[in-house]
């Protein structure tokens, strides 16, 4: 089912994001995690898209298996990193042939060995170009994109960042998913500013439960999100106690989700880091 249609139906959507595993053991562990989440009836699962050819193949294969073998609707990420228009078109055609109906169209982050994003030869430099290409090629995917309540790490001017989002939406997006955030005020302020700018598509809230303090500090440094001082103080007070950090993280994310849904967010997208226990605990609380 197309995610755009899900968002027009009654009730919020709940989704989970995974990345392609690197080893066979990790792959089996991932499938077990997704199997365990199936009973929670997620609206869809998304799979990220790497910069290497083999990783991109895993993305395509993983969304195919999730949809047709596990029985959960799947969305494939597609990025502009290191690929030509022809290579992107080849991936899109494979997804179409496998019956995949949903794509998250992203510019993508530069590879670790590059400081800045480099436009590929005969490729794209902006997500808006990728979205327009997919629409012009006639693909019928429900297209999603990314948005940044606290601004993109490469564009801290919030108004300019909103203009970039508007270009993507006008190119043909059906919905957007936010970068992770920990202060709901950032989400609500962003939605208000987006609506004032004429951006009308659903804005799904992206939530990453904190389960490891060092890990989340690395993530926020990379993406430009901030941890509110009261939450940071709680986490610092139990640094080294993994169970206490996890408990605080789950409690905070649960409160975030409840307020977001109570105030009209159309859905929650969980960044799982290929682990299911925290997101499972949160979704079970939300549904009880």
CA distance linking residue 142 with residue 165, whole number of Å: 17
- Asked if 133 contacts 94 with a C-beta cutoff of 8 angstroms, the reply is no
Q: What is the DSSP letter of 18?
A: E
Contacts of 164 (CB under 8 A, 6+ apart): 126, 128, 152, 155
The residue among 57, 24, 62 whose CA lies nearest residue 46 is: 62
CA distance linking residue 76 with residue 87, whole number of Å: 15
Contacts of 288 (CB under 8 A, 6+ apart): none
Contacts of 98 (CB under 8 A, 6+ apart): 60, 63, 64, 67, 68
Active-site residue, selected from the candidate residues 5, 17, 39, 170: 17
35 flagged as catalytic = no
Catalytic machinery residues: 17
């Amino acid at each position: 089912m197309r995610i755009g249609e899900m968002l027009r139906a009654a009730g919020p959507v709940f989704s989970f994001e995974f990345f392609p595993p690197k080893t066979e053991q990790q792959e089996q562990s991932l499938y077990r995690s997704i199997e365990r989440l199936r009973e929670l009836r997620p609206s869809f699962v998304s799979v990220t898209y790497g910069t290497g050819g083999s990783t991109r193949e895993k993305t395509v294969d993983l969304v195919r298996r999730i949809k047709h073998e596990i029985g959960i609707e799947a969305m494939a990420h597609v990025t502009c990193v290191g690929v030509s228009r022809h290579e992107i078109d080849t991936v899109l055609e494979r997804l179409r042939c496998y019956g995949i109906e949903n794509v998250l169209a992203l510019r993508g982050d530069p590879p670790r060995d590059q400081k800045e994003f480099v436009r590929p030869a005969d490729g794209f430099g902006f997500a808006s170009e990728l979205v327009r290409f997919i629409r012009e090629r006639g693909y019928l995917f429900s297209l999603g994109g990314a948005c940044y309540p606290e601004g993109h790490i490469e564009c801290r001017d919030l108004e300019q960042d909103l203009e970039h989002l508007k270009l993507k939406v006008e190119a043909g997006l059906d919905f957007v998913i936010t970068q992770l955030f920990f202060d709901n005020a950032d989400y609500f302020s962003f939605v208000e500013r987006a609506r004032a700018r004429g951006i009308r598509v659903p804005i799904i809230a992206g939530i990453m439960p904190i389960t490891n303090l060092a890990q989340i500090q690395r993530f926020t440094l990379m993406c430009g999100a901030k941890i509110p001082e009261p939450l940071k103080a709680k986490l610092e007070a139990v640094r080294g106690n993994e169970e206490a950090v996890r408990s605080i993280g789950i409690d905070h994310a649960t409160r975030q989700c409840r307020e977001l849904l109570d105030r009209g967010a159309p859905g929650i997208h969980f960044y799982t880091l290929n682990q299911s226990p925290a997101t499972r605990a949160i979704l079970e609380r939300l549904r009880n």
